[in-house]
Structure 1
Amino acid sequence: MKTGLTPEEQGLLAPVERGPILERTLEWAAINSGTANLEGLSAMAARLADAFAALPGEVRLVEPAPVEKVDSEGHIREIAHGRHLVLSVRPEVERRVILTGHMDTVYAKDHPFQTCDWLDEDTLHGPGTADMKGGLSLMLAGLAAYERGHPTLGYDVMINSDEETGSLSSAALIAELAQGKMAALTYEPGLPDGSMARARPGSGNYAAIVHGKSAHAGRNPEDGRNAVVAAGDLALRLAAGRREGLSVNPARIEGGAPNNTVPDLAILHFNLRPRTPELADVARTLIDEAIAEVCTAHDVSIHLHGRVSRPPKPVGAETEALFGLVSKAAADLGQTMRWKDTGGVCDGNNIAACGVPVLDTMGALGGAIHSPDEFMLASSLDARARLTALVMHRLDRHGVIL
Structure 2
Amino acid sequence: MKKLLLAAAIVCSHAALAQKLTATERKIVASVQQNMPQSEKLLEQVVNINSGTLNVKGVREVGTVFQKEFDAIGFKTEWVSMPETMQRAGHLVAQRKGKKGKKLFLIGHLDTVFELDMPFTKFTRLNDSTATGQGVNDMKGGNVVILAALQALHANGLMKDANITAYFTGDEERGGKGPESRADFIARAKQAEVALAFETATNLHTVATARRGSSTWLLKTYGTAAHSSGVFKPAVGDGAIYEAARILNSFRETLSQEQYLTFNPGLMVGGSEVSYDEAKARGEVVGKTNIIAPGATVTGDLRFLTETQKEAAREKMRAIVVQSLNKTRAEITFTDGLPGMAPTPGNQKLAALADQVSRDLGYGAVAAGDPGSRGGGDISYVAQYVDCLDGLGVSGKGAHAAGETINLKEFPLLVQRAALMIYRLTL
The answer to whether the aligner puts 1:158 opposite 2:167 as a matched pair is yes
Supply the AA of the counterpart residue of 2:257.
R
Structural RMSD (CA): 3.1
Q: Deviations over 1:45-90 (max 9, x none)?
A: 2223223222323212223479xxxxxxxxxxx8632211112211
Aligned to 1:184: 195
Distance 1:298 1:79 in 2: 42
Aligned to 2:62: 44
The partner residue of 1:335 within 352, 356, 363 is 363
1:141-152 to 2 correspondence within 5 Å? 141-147=148-154, 148-151=156-159, 152=161
Q: Alpha carbons of 1:358 and 1:218: their partners in 2 closer, same or farther (altered >3 Å)? A: closer
1:261-280 to 2 correspondence within 5 Å? 266-280=296-310
| Greater Cα shift, 319-328 or 331-340 | 331-340
Distance 1:167 1:389 in 2: 32
Supply the AA of the counterpart residue of 2:165.
D
Q: Alpha carbons of 1:113 and 1:335: their partners in 2 closer, same or farther (altered >3 Å)? A: farther
Aligned to 2:95: 88
Aligned to 2:390: 360
Distance 2:222 2:321 in 1: 14
Distance 1:158 1:107 in 2: 21
The partner residue of 2:256 within 239, 242, 252 is 242
Supply the AA of the counterpart residue of 2:333.
L
Distance 1:236 1:65 in 2: 41
Distance 2:165 2:327 in 1: 52
1:181-260 to 2 correspondence within 5 Å? 181-208=192-219, 210=220, 212=222, 227-240=240-253, 241-245=255-259, 246-254=261-269, 255=283, 257-260=285-288
The partner residue of 1:304 within 333, 336, 346 is 333
- SS in structure 2 at match of 1:379: coil
TM-score, L = length of structure 2: 0.79
- SS in structure 1 at match of 2:425: helix
Distance 1:265 1:63 in 2: 42
Aligned to 1:72: none
- SS in structure 2 at match of 1:366: coil
The answer to whether the aligner puts 1:8 opposite 2:57 as a matched pair is no
Distance 2:318 2:415 in 1: 47
Distance 2:292 2:73 in 1: 62
Distance 1:292 1:79 in 2: 36
CA contact (8 A) 1:194 1:365 kept: no
Supply the AA of the counterpart residue of 2:361.
L
Aligned to 1:381: 411
Q: Deviations over 1:314-360 (max 9, x none)?
A: 32222222112222112222224432223213223223222x22110
Distance 1:218 1:113 in 2: 49
Supply the AA of the counterpart residue of 2:147.
L
Q: Deviations over 1:284-331 (max 9, x none)?
A: 20232233334x755446362512x33332322222221122221122
CA contact (8 A) 2:96 2:163 kept: yes
CA contact (8 A) 2:98 2:162 kept: no
The partner residue of 2:45 within 22, 27, 35 is 27
The partner residue of 1:323 within 333, 336, 351 is 351
Q: Alpha carbons of 1:216 and 1:92: their partners in 2 closer, same or farther (altered >3 Å)? A: farther
Distance 1:103 1:206 in 2: 28
Work out the number of aligned pairs and report it. Answer: 382
| Greater Cα shift, 253-262 or 14-23 | 253-262
Higher Cα Rg, which structure: 2
How far did 1:378 drift? 1.7
In structure 1, runs of 5+ residues without a counterpart are 67-77, 398-402
